[in-house]
Amino acid sequence: MNPRVMPLPAALAGLMAAAAQAQTPARPAAQTWPTFNGDLEARKYSTEAEITPANVSGLKVAWEMHTGDVSDGSGQLPATVWSATPLFVNDTLYLSTPFYRIFALEPDTGKVKWIYDTHSKKEALTQPDLKTRGAAYWQAANPVEGQACQKIVYIGTMDAALHAVDADTGKPCSGFGQNGVLNVNQWNSMSATWPLSVLQPPTVYKDTLFIGWAGKDWALAQAPAGSVFAVDARTGALKWTFNALPPEVAPRTGTANVWASMSIDPENNLLFLPVSSPSPNYYGGDRKEALPLVTAVVALNPDTGAVVWSRQLVHHDLWDYDTNSAPVLVDIQRGGKTVPALVQSTKQGFIYVLNRLTGEPIYPIEETPVPRSDVAGEQSAPTQPETTTPVPTVASEWPGVSTIADIASFGYCSREANRLRNDGRFTPPSLQGTLTYPATAGGVEWGGGAVDPATGTYVVNSSSVVEIYRLLTRRDYDAKTMDGTPKGYYPMSGAPYGFHLNTFVNWLGMPCWNPPYGTLSSYDLNTGKLLWKEPFGEVQKWGFYMPLSWGSVTIGAPVITRSGLIFIGASMDSRVRAIDRRSGEVLWSARVDAPAVSMPAVYRYKGKEYVAFAVGGNTILEPKVSDQMIAYALPGQIGAR
Amino acid sequence: MAGGAAAGLMTSIIDDVWKGSGIDGTGGALLVIVSSALILAASVLLVVARPLPRPFGIVIGTLLLFGIAGTGFAGYMLESDVLAGFMAFALIGWCVHLAPGTRPAARDVPRAAGAIG
């Protein structure tokens, strides 16, 4: 049979399906976790309330399973970074793995229903590690019984493919792309450089997938220009493309892509993009034009891709301060009125609270004079947009030299601190080396914060990391890398400077700056006030746990439940925790196999509430990886097995 | 003391290989394996080689105290409560070992030797 000729019953069914409005619920059913951030507004909020501060100490492992998709990088495969948030929808837990497979699991036992293998290359084409942050899900509003691909699970790959799979069977949806695979790289403006890696699951709204991509940072001045593709959820047909960079700058810069998740305001029909920084990341002498859509938050019309408003969060970015998490959408109360707000966390530690309809600040943003560059050819911005309400997650001054680390290194830390350029926040990269705080590692990373819409409480984890940024003339860079590229050197080929980056540690690997290294903070968005801020997690060195007051560098994000709990992994001590939203007190914790750098999913199935973590590790935090998927529940609840 | 050290050694080995310990494969876990093994060896030596010459006994006893305390502290820092507990048990054994009547007095050594002569 000619596959292009559709039998009549199937054609009728298809018409019926097309007529039915497709959807990812704006307000997900209480028991589901259908998107990366739990809902389209990226609130990371669960309405579940069976697990409470009073009973959370009784939480037990409901089930665990291992996908087998893990590599520590010691063999032929690159290491895996598994940051996938599981989805719970269609009575199934969907999970993507860093070997680019989808697992469909029974939500109450972890038993495998089906596995789909993309057979993608297990090569670190753009990222240093094999990486995935999850799958995406779409379904027709009224799925036609017996017809395939009325419910679809999507997985992206490092080699720029987006696979569409029937959510019930795990079979490819042949109507999507070519036999179920969409080649995203067909829209790569510079396909010879590297592929447009689809590591973050697409955002799904109505019948459309919004696809961002990740590239290879710090390698090239000239790189694919930042773009977001809107495609038909059923067919993969391109609807529109958003470009953050004007075409005339393409020969000199690129990226400014959207590699993190996006959010949607269904009521006002707005799509929000966190747009990253342009290449080359640490030198902007060849991209002096005002590029207002880069390192910015941008609101689009999801039907057309037209820009509704934008707000740049870093002018002429020289620090790789990508806008790196989905804006969180919540209505807050100001002066007796309900204000539609957008909360954008950042690597810089600023928390920008904007009116999501206009982009205007709800709490003041001031253009503050900042240190200027002393590098030949550079023209750094004279001011940067800073906000003090809510109080930033990291201080404006760096934390100072750690006495212990300084003594242990015979004064290395203080000597270096005195030698490096440090004129405060936004000190540009320099040839002598710049002590950079906060650094590209954050502040707040890609998970962003979570919000309780009922109280306006916003909770966010943040790191306190000091890095040393140093530009090298091309001649110096070439001399340093003549016999291969040592760790920490990045070419920025095409720019007049290469780049060296290292974390400010002594010879023992001890941070040269004072703790805490990571915190968890809670804010009242209605007033902008900090409610509490606590060191979060524990630093572990050679297995030894450092004092609680030191906290831990964090990657991942919290989830808030209606009952007043915060669930979070994110720390480098391989623990998952439940925290009292009101006080910040840790009420429960459990050890897992590696740092759980994904955000958890909270769902209910057969009357029982589960909290599920993908435990993948992250080589930035610890040389520890895992393939453990683990779910916790209270014993003896309704629906218990 | 030997019992505490043996149990501590077992615990350390499990901590080193069990992923759920939080310290598997770490330098700290290896360190307490070695220190527990040394405590066990020294404890056994105290039993099988008794009576020891007084200076040797003092040295071994002192090293044992440091070893037990250090391993216990390491267990605390590694958040291996079981290991720390077994070291506390070993410490009790060490104290009992000091108690009169549980070890031969050092001065007995030459007397015994003289008796043989």
pLDDT interval class at A251 (50, 70, 90): confident
Residues of chain B with C-beta less than 8 angstroms from the C-beta of A575: 22
**How does A387-417 read in b/e, with b if 16+ C-beta sit within 10 Å?**
bebbbbbbeeebbebbeebbebbeebbbebb
**A165 and A177 Cβ atoms separated by less than 8 Å:** no
Share above pLDDT 70 across residues of chain A, in percent, rounded to a whole number: 95
The pLDDT of residue A361 is 98
CB pair distance less than 8 Å for B28 and A543: yes
CA atoms of A44 and A559, how far apart (whole Å): 5
Higher pLDDT, A113 or A5: A113
pLDDT digits (tens, 9 = 90+) for A349-371: 999 999 999 999 999 999 999 99
pLDDT interval class at A14 (50, 70, 90): very low
Measured CA to CA in angstroms, residue B87 lies from B20, B38, B61 at distances of 21, 13, 15
Quote the domain boundaries for residue A280: 21-633
Q: Please give the ipTM for the structure prediction.
A: 0.82
pLDDT interval class at A30 (50, 70, 90): low
pLDDT interval class at B52 (50, 70, 90): confident
| Closest A-chain CA to B79 | A545
The pLDDT of residue A1 is 35
The pLDDT of residue B39 is 94
Summarize the confidence of residues A69-90 as an average pLDDT: 95
User: Is a pLDDT exceeding 90 seen at residue A20?
Assistant: no
The pLDDT of residue A15 is 40
The pLDDT of residue B102 is 60
pTM of the model: 0.90
Summarize the confidence of residues A408-415 as an average pLDDT: 97
| Closest B-chain CA to A575 | B22
pLDDT digits (tens, 9 = 90+) for A593-604: 999 999 999 999
Phi and psi, residue A207, nearest 5°: -100, 20
Closest Cα of chain B to A512: distance in Å? 21
CB pair distance less than 8 Å for B28 and A544: yes
The pLDDT of residue A636 is 79
Does B78 lie at the interface with A, CB-CB under 8 angstroms?
A: yes
Question: Among B19, B20, B23, whose Cβ lies nearest the Cβ of A543?
Answer: B23
CB pair distance less than 8 Å for A543 and B29: yes
Question: Among B19, B20, B28, whose Cβ lies nearest the Cβ of A542?
Answer: B28
Would you tell me which residues 33-62 of chain B have a C-beta closer than 8 angstroms to some C-beta of chain A?
A: none
User: Is a pLDDT exceeding 90 seen at residue A29?
Assistant: no
CA atoms of B8 and B61, how far apart (whole Å): 18
CA atoms of A415 and A52, how far apart (whole Å): 50
> Edge to edge, what strands does the sheet with A270-275 contain?
A263-265, A270-275, A296-300, A307-312
User: Is a pLDDT exceeding 60 seen at residue A24?
Assistant: no
Does B26 lie at the interface with A, CB-CB under 8 angstroms?
A: yes
- Relative to beta strand A80-82, strand A130-132 is parallel
CB pair distance less than 8 Å for B22 and A626: no
CB pair distance less than 8 Å for A543 and B78: yes
User: Is a pLDDT exceeding 60 seen at residue A246?
Assistant: yes
Residue A641 within any structural domain of the chain = no
The pLDDT of residue A424 is 95
Question: Among B19, B27, B79, whose Cβ lies nearest the Cβ of A542?
Answer: B27
Residue A338 within any structural domain of the chain = yes
Share above pLDDT 70 across residues of chain B, in percent, rounded to a whole number: 85
**How does A583-607 read in b/e, with b if 16+ C-beta sit within 10 Å?**
ebebbbbbebbbbbbbbbbbbbbee
CA atoms of A613 and A597, how far apart (whole Å): 9
Strand partners, A385: A367
CB pair distance less than 8 Å for A626 and B19: yes
Summarize the confidence of residues A139-151 as an average pLDDT: 93
pLDDT digits (tens, 9 = 90+) for A373-387: 999 999 999 999 999
CB pair distance less than 8 Å for B28 and A574: no
The region of weakest confidence among A27-31, A434-438, A563-567, A607-611 is A27-31
User: Is a pLDDT exceeding 80 seen at residue A231?
Assistant: yes
Domain count, chain A: 1
3-state secondary structure of B97: helix
CB pair distance less than 8 Å for B28 and A593: no
Does B6 lie at the interface with A, CB-CB under 8 angstroms?
A: no
Mean pLDDT score of chain A: 93
Domain CATH code at residue A294: 2.140.10.10
Summarize the confidence of residues B57-85 as an average pLDDT: 93
Residue A640 within any structural domain of the chain = no
CB pair distance less than 8 Å for B19 and A593: yes
Question: Among A544, A591, A592, whose Cβ lies nearest the Cβ of B77?
Answer: A544
Residues of chain B with C-beta less than 8 angstroms from the C-beta of A589: none
Question: How many beta-carbon pairs below 8 A join chains A and B?
Answer: 32
Does B84 lie at the interface with A, CB-CB under 8 angstroms?
A: no
Pick the CATH number of B2-108 from 3.40.50, 1.20.120, 3.10.50, 2.70.98: 1.20.120
- Relative to beta strand A263-265, strand A434-436 is unpaired
Summarize the confidence of residues A493-506 as an average pLDDT: 96
Does B74 lie at the interface with A, CB-CB under 8 angstroms?
A: yes
Does A412 lie at the interface with B, CB-CB under 8 angstroms?
A: no
CB pair distance less than 8 Å for A543 and B20: no
**H or E element in which residue A479 lies:** helix A474-480
The pLDDT of residue A13 is 42
The pLDDT of residue A533 is 98
| Closest B-chain CA to A573 | B22
Residue A4 within any structural domain of the chain = no
User: Is a pLDDT exceeding 90 seen at residue B1?
Assistant: no
**H or E element in which residue A277 lies:** none
Residue A373 within any structural domain of the chain = yes
Mean pLDDT score of chain B: 83
Summarize the confidence of residues A255-276 as an average pLDDT: 97
Residues of chain A with C-beta less than 8 angstroms from the C-beta of B19: 593, 626, 628
**A628 and A63 Cβ atoms separated by less than 8 Å:** no
Q: In the structure encoding, which two tokens stand for residue A535, read together?
A: 């060191």
Residues of chain B with C-beta less than 8 angstroms from the C-beta of A591: 20-22
Residues of chain A with C-beta less than 8 angstroms from the C-beta of B31: 542
CA atoms of A70 and A617, how far apart (whole Å): 10
CA A118 to chain centre: 23
Residues of chain B with C-beta less than 8 angstroms from the C-beta of A573: 22
Question: Among A543, A575, A626, whose Cβ lies nearest the Cβ of B26?
Answer: A543
CB pair distance less than 8 Å for A591 and B77: no
The pLDDT of residue A28 is 57
**How does A24-60 read in b/e, with b if 16+ C-beta sit within 10 Å?**
beeebeebbbbbbbbbbbbbbbbbbebbebeebeebe
Does B27 lie at the interface with A, CB-CB under 8 angstroms?
A: yes
